[in-house]
Amino acid sequence: MSGGVDSSVAASLLVEAGHECVGVFMRHARPAVEPQGQLAIVEPRAGHQGCCSAADALDARRVADRLGIPLYPLDLTDDFERIIDDFAAEYGRGRTPNPCVRCNAWLKFGKLFDYADAIGASHVATGHYARLEATATEVPVLRRGLDPARDQSYVLFAIPPDRLRRMLLPVGGLPKADVRARARDLGLAVADKPDSQEICFVAPGAHAGLVAARLGGSRAGDIVDLSGNVLGQHPGIEHYTVGQRQGLGIATGQRLHVIRIEAASRRVVVGPRTAVPEQFLEAADATWLVPVPTAPFACEVQCRAQRTAAPAIVTPLAADRFEARFTGGAEATPGPISPGQPAVIYAGDRLLGGGWIER
């Protein structure tokens, strides 16, 4: 229970269905000052909603009291350090990380299972917008949420398949408007609370300071064109992601985009929009919710949480590696392909698996 409307309504639905529920609030967003004085973990900016703050804990407590269920705060600060370290290390490698996927795999559907086992709970439930369907096999089918504008299946791809049998996603079959309406009917104070929109451990635009504090030293270097000509300098590769156009800090009279980031030389390579990679990717550390494929197959691949999936041919390279070649042409690309982001594979609304983009 995060203190948001989705997990609150999920809990209410489980209580209504007759389950014996225990609420859990993950405590990990303590203020932490980094060695260089950079505040690493902060409250969200005004008008935007983060998660796991002291105010969220109070909201979760009020909802639990309203539903008549216990709520226990779990201090996962030490475990959460692993996510922050991974976040910084990925930027240091010239990649664009996705800490929410790591949190789901390592904490929400990782460490919380340890707690569930400790108290004899049969399932772990959250307010994610995705759907699970039981099958005759051991691994349930994971589908997109019924509300396409709210679907969160993308950030669940890395959950170990054996955990799916013990997961419940009560709001995945509901439109968001219905979830808010149910919250109002129940008199929950979080009915109109804004959705979480921020990374919970660093303020928008402040991630570069966190990376610098965690890794130490400078990752400043040159901004170069596709021929290697120096166009300017940048303060650190962690300020950039593939496809980025705004905030490059150079003026050439052309619209330039980040084409790639070369961590070893600390060079940011820029060029025209047509040079941004959108047709091919290779991914590693794959998780499969179906039998591991051994031959190429047609599917759709999604490369960012807020983008649509694009038609592709996925070719397995090993049990935990695959490549995807996009087949939709200029009208159906996945958008800029950024190393470090997930590439998640779908057949219609069914999630088949995914991996982390390497190139």
DSSP code for 49: B
Q: What was the pLDDT predicted at 136? A: 80
Q: Are residues 56 and 155 in the same domain?
A: yes
Mean of the pLDDT values across residues 191-209? Answer: 79
Judge whether residue 266 has pLDDT over 90. yes
Active site residues: 103, 200
Residue 242: pLDDT band by 50, 70, 90 thresholds? very high
Task: Write the CATH number for 285.
Answer: 2.40.30.10
Q: Give residue-wise pLDDT tens across range 329-346.
A: 877 889 999 999 999 999
Q: Are residues 258 and 338 in the same domain?
A: no
Judge whether residue 17 has pLDDT over 60. yes
Residue 197: pLDDT band by 50, 70, 90 thresholds? low
Q: What was the pLDDT predicted at 174? A: 96
Residues belonging to the chain: 359
283: how many CB neighbours lie within 10 A of its CB? 28
Residue 71: pLDDT band by 50, 70, 90 thresholds? very high
Return the amino acid letter for 36. Answer: Q
Q: What is the distance between the alpha carbons of residues 308 and 300, in angstroms, rounded to a whole number?
A: 9
Judge whether residue 55 has pLDDT over 90. no
Q: What was the pLDDT predicted at 34? A: 42
Q: Are residues 114 and 78 in the same domain?
A: yes
- On whether residue 229 sits in a domain, the answer given is yes
Exposed (0-12), middle (13-18) or buried (19+): which is 37, by Cβ within 10 Å? exposed
Q: Are residues 136 and 227 in the same domain?
A: no
- On whether residue 31 sits in a domain, the answer given is yes
Judge whether residue 45 has pLDDT over 50. no
Burial code (b: 16+ CB inside 10 Å, e: under 16) for 128-164 equals bbbbbeeeeeeebbbbbbbbeebbbbbbbbbbebeeb
Tokens of 257: 């985009």
Q: Are residues 261 and 307 in the same domain?
A: no
Q: Are residues 165 and 117 in the same domain?
A: yes
Mean of the pLDDT values across residues 119-130? Answer: 96
Q: Are residues 260 and 285 in the same domain?
A: no
Q: What was the pLDDT predicted at 38? A: 43
Q: Are residues 82 and 223 in the same domain?
A: no
Closest by CA position to 108, among listed 205, 6, 213: 6
How many domains in the chain?
3
Q: Are residues 42 and 118 in the same domain?
A: yes
Residue 165: pLDDT band by 50, 70, 90 thresholds? very high
Residue 181: pLDDT band by 50, 70, 90 thresholds? very high
- On whether residue 214 sits in a domain, the answer given is no
Judge whether residue 276 has pLDDT over 90. yes
Q: What was the pLDDT predicted at 43? A: 46
Q: What was the pLDDT predicted at 308? A: 93
- On whether residue 228 sits in a domain, the answer given is yes
Q: What was the pLDDT predicted at 29? A: 54
Domain closes at, from 234, 253, 275: 275
Domain closes at, from 229, 249, 275: 275
Q: Which residues pair with 131 in a beta bridge?
A: 143
Numbers of helices and strands, H then E, in the chain: 7, 16
120: how many CB neighbours lie within 10 A of its CB? 7
Residue 32: pLDDT band by 50, 70, 90 thresholds? very low
- On whether residue 271 sits in a domain, the answer given is yes
- On whether residue 194 sits in a domain, the answer given is no
Residue 51: pLDDT band by 50, 70, 90 thresholds? low
Alpha carbon separation from 333 to 97, 158, 275, 300, 309 (Å, rounded):
21, 23, 13, 10, 8
Q: What is the distance between the alpha carbons of residues 224 and 232, in angstroms, rounded to a whole number?
A: 7
Q: Are residues 143 and 11 in the same domain?
A: yes
**High-pLDDT (> 90) share of the chain, %:** 71
Q: Are residues 301 and 174 in the same domain?
A: no
Task: Write the CATH number for 127.
Answer: 3.40.50.620
- Among 84-93, 122-131, 244-253, the range scoring the smallest mean pLDDT is 244-253
Q: Are residues 158 and 263 in the same domain?
A: no
Q: What was the pLDDT predicted at 198? A: 63
Q: What was the pLDDT predicted at 247? A: 85
Mean of the pLDDT values across residues 145-160? Answer: 94
Mean of the pLDDT values across residues 239-250? Answer: 90
- On whether residue 319 sits in a domain, the answer given is yes
- On whether residue 197 sits in a domain, the answer given is no
Tokens of 348: 């219609």
Judge whether residue 33 has pLDDT over 50. no
Domain closes at, from 275, 300, 322: 275
Range of the domain at 329: 280-357
What would you report as the CA-atom Rg of the chain, rounded to the nearest whole angstrom? Answer: 21
Mean of the pLDDT values across residues 90-119? Answer: 93
